[in-house]
Amino acid sequence: MTIGILYQEELKQYDFGPGHPFRGDRYIAFYKFLRENLPPNETYKILEAEPANEEDLLLICHQTYIEFTEQYYRAAHMGLTYPGDFTLFHSADNMPTGTPGKIEEAARLVVGQAKKACDLVQAGEFKKVISVGGGLHHAKRSYGEGFCLYNDVAFSALHLMQNYGLERILILDTDAHAGNGTAAYFYEEPKVLFIDIHQDPRTIYPGTGFADQIGAGDGRGFTINIPMPIDAGNDAYELAFDSIVTPITQEFKPQVIIRNGGSDPHFNDGLTQLGLTVSGFKMIGERVRELTKICDDKLIDLIASGYNERILPYAWLALISGLTGIDIELEEPEPIPQAYRADHAFYKAEKVIEEVKLCLKQYWEYLS
């Protein structure tokens, strides 16, 4: 089965500037790594997309936010100062340093890729499409944060609902940080099951994503947060899939799966404190691939995060290997410390899983 991979060199413009944790060279490095380790053949096809237009952005953002974001970042790229209160629209971590890339234009491209991924999957041209650079899950309708300008994860689900009439969409967020932006879009929406596996929010940005945050109104029970303990590794993640993700997905019966998340749950990411190895990322991909059997193999996958640039291409390709079933031998690029050779946080993860089940038991037959 040929998969589609959305990538183009312009993604490198999603770059907040020298000294910032989020640089655009990650995309160039990954594409080079991909071609070296999996040369183009019948297994995948590189695709390009058009940037999102104004109508697309209005599906997920308010007009005033789009206008400020467009003008501010275009001025920053040219070394100019744009008048207006940055803090009304963005958090400090979205402030570029030095001379940034064409961030806003690249952010439009990321949303455009998400749109094309949805359209290709729904048209049956590909069962699985991967958007390199996608997964900007912290952005909200009128506020950008966490290095995210426009939320392509939310766009994907809303586009599928509005233009294809889908009524059961699973968003699975495996980024180390809770997807607070995505959660805000769908907190009261029963058509979207949002499952978010992330580091304990007491220990990491954005400080949300607790087990008892389960949605509101008609959407109560359709937001599922699994806050993993510090150092949680491969075994703890497998437990989360076995105990929560897989059985509830089987009960929900999604028509399509949207997954987002990159390499930042790795034990040596630098900005996080989780314990996955490269083989753990492949395992996550394999588990998601198994879940797609529920929805005719339909998957939209969005990959951008990770802050150790040596680890990042290995973890991303391991995810893709698992998601697609393409067999690639990938060794751990750095020695695994003794502390991570066994999952010492497993017993803490068991307690988290029990807490999650308790919070959700009245909403899912499997847990009742």
Please list the active-site residues: 138
| DSSP alpha helix (H) spans, the chain | 25-37, 54-58, 63-77, 103-123, 152-164, 180-186, 234-240, 246-252, 278-291, 312-324, 346-360
Token couple for 310: 């040596």
Exposed, middle or buried by CB within 10 Å (0-12, 13-18, 19+), for 357?
middle
Nearest alpha carbon to residue 143 among 86, 198, 103: 86
Exposed, middle or buried by CB within 10 Å (0-12, 13-18, 19+), for 46?
middle
Eight-state DSSP code of residue 181: H
The whole-angstrom separation of Cα 279 and Cα 181 is 29
Nearest alpha carbon to residue 305 among 274, 326, 336, 333: 274
Angle between helices 312-324 and 25-37 (to 10 degrees): 50
> Is-contact 134 153, C-beta < 8 A?
yes
Token couple for 303: 């990959």
CB atoms under 10 Å from CB of 293, counted, come to 9
The whole-angstrom separation of Cα 14 and Cα 11 is 6
